[in-house]
Chain A
Amino acid sequence: MNAMNLPLMLPEIALVVLGIVVLLADLVLPKEKRHLLGWWVAAAFSAIVVYLFVRPAAGEPEYAAFGLYRLDGFAIFMKKVFGLAGVLVAVMSVDWVKRHGRAAGEFFTIVVFAMTGMFLVASVNDLMSMFVSLELVTLSFFILAAFRVADRISGEAGIKYIIVGALAAAFMLFGTAFIYGATGQIRFDAVRGAIERLAEPAYPTLLFGAVTLLVGLGFKVASVPFHVWVPDVYQGAPTPVTAFLSVGSKAAGFVLIVRMLTLVFGEALSNELTPLLALTAALTLFYGNLAAIPQTNIKRLMGYSSIGHAGYLLLGVVAIVAMQRGGHSYGSGVSAIIFYLFAYVFTNMAVFLGIVAFSATAGRKHAIDDYAGLGKRSPFLALTLTVALLSLAGVPPLAGFFGKFYLISSVVEASAVAGNGWLLVLAAIGAVNVVVSMYYYLCVVKRIYMREPPENASPILLGAPVRVALMACMALVVIIGIFQGPFVKMATAVLATIR
């Protein structure tokens, strides 16, 4: 643990070098070729993902940077997911950057730096690196959300996002300060050790710190009541950025929540956190799904849908804290979250790939009504969008259905293990919300197939890379759904390395 062990951090080092190379290449390349940097970024991200796949896996967690960097199965898994999502974001950005033609090099540099932050978030092992890495991710997202400043709503989205994001950072820092105050330690394992020996009087300090820190993370994952930024930012940010944000910010936040609960807090705070998180999960589910119903803008709809999905993921978090009480194995909660995040990332990416491809031909208004008759204008795009939306809604046998199924059943299991009947109510709320969410997703599908296209509608043209990316996402959504065995095994294998 007491070594720099630089080779372990090869992916992060490669990302930093890539970011600087892109920044410098922007100076050399002629202006009309700069959007091609997106392909470099996509290729480099792919190479890093391939490296992570072929890298010999150690059974035990490995440490670098004097124990501040932890590479375990969970970290490697999340890095693969982040990397693949990054490839898709780069693919959909190339066309967008070409059309809007502004500061292409800077755009991709910030994308790479955001990815560096996400990689670090997956591996941090102390409170300081956690704060700095998460801020690297959010700061990059602030810049990307406001990137198209000529567009009024992009700037507005940027301001709203940065106010709420900085507020979250302040909460995180204040909470972290009190956790440090109660324990006197910064590194996760040392904090955990100190919590186990914690003197009774210091307990309220720790609880205050933990809750304040979770409030800060609640902003990042878009849970109620810290969700106010989500719809506006989703609608106002450039669409590829919205896609990146919807998976990056949420997954990074949940990674840290899982890390804090499993590596740091343990069962010490389970009694207090369970009701708090259960209430948050229920409110988030209801708010996200009910508020999505009247939406007329597809990106805004995805914003509310993203709040709803944060609610489902919080079900898994509730299951973890509830099962930690009394030292029960909380594995099903963690593996449900892992499975759901995996399915959610690629489903969401498929929807946003579709939105980007559609708006390139049909204008940037993103009204849901514009999607009328898409089934006739582009049968392939209509099919992929439909599959992805049905998976988000949780229609069997697609990936989203099993994700929701595992999360809800982990809550039911937690209820049995912890002997807490209220958790059954929470599971029921989860099930009810699946039905509610089906309504608004199906409304979009209905427009795609049951309505006539506008008279002067042209066919939607798809570039080859976008077509391949869409096909890959759709295949994953269907395959994860039909053959879940290997993916559940994968989630369980990841789980084994988490403690």
Chain B
Amino acid sequence: MEIQIAHYLVVAGILFAVGLTGVVVRRNAIVILMCLELMLNAANLALVAFSRVHRDMQGQVFVFFAITVAAAEAAVMLAIIIAVYRQRQTVNVDEMDLMQG
């Protein structure tokens, strides 16, 4: 059976869903960040597949920007996690409940 573009989109959809589920069920901030990276990568796969559909490079250029943004986001989030860990000795989002109401 020949591989269709849709196969790639389905893989992208599955990876996106796995990442989303991870963001919802996991409690460790670092692991949540990894799940978010996975979601961005799923979008990248869809972009590359679509760039083949339209036979142009715009989708692949977009992936470049997505990777850069993901890297910047990861750096900032890891910095915040380190700063919070110094205060609280935890990276568990369930324990971050100082504010209620």
Chain A 147-172 against B: per-residue CB contact (8 Å), 1 yes, 0 no? 00110110111111011001101100
Q: Say what secondary structure dominates the interface of chain A.
A: helix
Q: Is the CB of A132 within 8 A of B65?
A: yes
Number of A residues, CB within 8 Å of B? 44
Decide yes or no whether A135 CB sits under 8 A from chain B: yes
Interface members, chain B 73-101 (any A CB < 8 Å)? 73, 76-77, 80-81, 83-84, 86-88, 93, 96, 98-99, 101
Q: Is the CB of B88 within 8 A of A152?
A: yes
Which of A167, A170, A180 contacts B50 (CB under 8 A)?
Answer: A180
Q: Is the CB of A155 within 8 A of B23?
A: no
Take A128-B65, A177-B50 as given contacts and tell me if A170 and B72 are in contact as well, using a CB distance cutoff of 8 Å.
Answer: no
CA separation between A409 and B43, bound complex, in Å?
40
Q: Is the CB of A159 within 8 A of B29?
A: yes
Which of B29, B88, B99 contacts A236 (CB under 8 A)?
Answer: B99
Q: Is the CB of A180 within 8 A of B59?
A: yes
| Residues of chain A lying within 8 A (CB to CB) of residue B47 | 177, 180
| Residues of chain B lying within 8 A (CB to CB) of residue A185 | 58
Interface members, chain B 33-65 (any A CB < 8 Å)? 33, 36, 39-40, 42-44, 46-47, 49-50, 53-54, 56, 58-59, 61-62, 65
| Residues of chain B lying within 8 A (CB to CB) of residue A176 | 43, 62
Q: Is the CB of B53 within 8 A of A181?
A: yes
| Residues of chain B lying within 8 A (CB to CB) of residue A167 | 20, 23, 36, 39
CB distance from B41 to the nearest CB of A (A): 9
Q: Is the CB of B80 within 8 A of A162?
A: yes
CA separation between A185 and B81, bound complex, in Å?
38
Smallest CB gap from A179: residue in B: B50
Q: Is the CB of B80 within 8 A of A169?
A: no
Interface members, chain B 5-19 (any A CB < 8 Å)? 9, 12, 16, 19
CB distance from A152 to the nearest CB of B (A): 5
Number of B residues, CB within 8 Å of A? 45
- Surface stretch bound by B, among A77-85, A295-303, A325-333, A344-352: A295-303
Q: Is the CB of A295 within 8 A of B40?
A: no
Decide yes or no whether A391 CB sits under 8 A from chain B: no
Q: Is the CB of B59 within 8 A of A139?
A: no
CB distance from B20 to the nearest CB of A (A): 8
CA separation between A231 and B47, bound complex, in Å?
34
Q: Is the CB of B36 within 8 A of A156?
A: no
Q: Is the CB of A153 within 8 A of B98?
A: yes
CA separation between A166 and B47, bound complex, in Å?
18
Q: Is the CB of B36 within 8 A of A163?
A: yes
Decide yes or no whether A287 CB sits under 8 A from chain B: no
Q: Is the CB of B84 within 8 A of A158?
A: yes
- Greatest chain A CB density within 10 A among B43, B86, B93 is at B43
CB distance from A256 to the nearest CB of B (A): 16
Take A149-B83, A170-B36 as given contacts and tell me if A162 and B101 are in contact as well, using a CB distance cutoff of 8 Å.
Answer: no
| Residues of chain B lying within 8 A (CB to CB) of residue A132 | 65, 69
Smallest CB gap from B61: residue in A: A128
| Residues of chain B lying within 8 A (CB to CB) of residue A410 | none
Interface members, chain A 224-267 (any B CB < 8 Å)? 231-232, 235-236
CA separation between A153 and B93, bound complex, in Å?
13
CA separation between A156 and B47, bound complex, in Å?
34
Q: Is the CB of B81 within 8 A of A181?
A: no
Chain A 164-205 against B: per-residue CB contact (8 Å), 1 yes, 0 no? 001101100110111011001110000000000000000000
- Greatest chain B CB density within 10 A among A131, A173, A295 is at A173
| Residues of chain B lying within 8 A (CB to CB) of residue A142 | 73, 76-77, 80
Take A139-B73, A173-B40 as given contacts and tell me if A156 and B99 are in contact as well, using a CB distance cutoff of 8 Å.
Answer: yes
CB distance from B78 to the nearest CB of A (A): 10
Which of B54, B77, B96 contacts A162 (CB under 8 A)?
Answer: B77
Smallest CB gap from B40: residue in A: A170
- Listed A/B pairs (29) with beta-carbon separation below 8 Å: A131-B65, A135-B69, A139-B69, A142-B76, A146-B83, A149-B84, A152-B87, A155-B83, A156-B98, A158-B83, A159-B29, A160-B96, A162-B76, A163-B23, A163-B77, A166-B77, A167-B36, A169-B40, A169-B73, A170-B19, A170-B20, A170-B40, A173-B40, A177-B12, A180-B62, A181-B9, A181-B50, A184-B53, A186-B58
Residues on A lying within 8 angstroms of B by beta carbon are 127-128, 131-132, 135, 139, 142-143, 146, 149-150, 152-153, 155-160, 162-163, 166-167, 169-170, 173-174, 176-178, 180-181, 184-186, 231-232, 235-236, 294-297, 300
Would you list the 9 A-B pairs with minimal beta carbon distance, nearest first? Answer: A181-B50, A184-B54, A170-B39, A155-B84, A149-B83, A173-B43, A177-B46, A174-B43, A158-B80
